[in-house]
Amino acid sequence: MLSNNPPTLTDFDVSRLEVIVDRLSQQAAPPPILPVLDRELERAIVMKPEEIPPSVVTMNSEVEVRDLETGSALCLTLVFPTLANIESGRVSVLAPMGLALLGSREGDEVAWQTPRGVRRSRVERVVFQPEAAGRFDL
C-alpha cells in the first residue's frame, strides 16, 4: 500500500530501477512486489538529480521514520536489493516498507502491507540524501 501521491524520483534512480524490474521479471518466480514497483515508476514525477529537493527520499538516502502505532523512531537507508541488510538498517526497495519510502518526502505518512496487517510510519527527516550531498554516483 503506497501513498496516493506520485513518488518523486531522479532520472538516475528510475533508470537503475527499470533495469532491476526488467531483469527480475525474466525470472521464473519474480518477486510479487515487482508490478507495484513498475507502476510506481510509471507514475513518478521524474527530476534531474541536481534538481531534486533535499527532503525527498531517493535511493541510498538515510531517513528517520516514526512508527505511527508505537511512536518508536528508526533510522533506515533505502538501498538496492543486493545491499539490503535489515540488521544494519539497510532496507531494500523491493521490501514493502522500502517501496513505500521511495520518493516520499519529509512529513509524509507511508503505509505498507505486512502479514500482520497495514503498518504506517511518518518520514520525520531525511538524514542523508546522496543528491543533496553532491553524490550523484550513489
What's the pLDDT tens digit per position in 86-108? 899 999 999 999 999 999 999 99
- CB-based burial label for 39 (10 Å; 0-12, 13-18, 19+): exposed
Q: What is the torsional sign of CA 84, 90, 93, 95?
A: positive
pTM over 0.85: yes
| φ, ψ of residue 90 in degrees (nearest 5) | -105, 105
Q: Residue 3: its pLDDT value, please?
A: 56
| Domains in the chain: ranges and CATH | 8-128 (3.10.50.30)
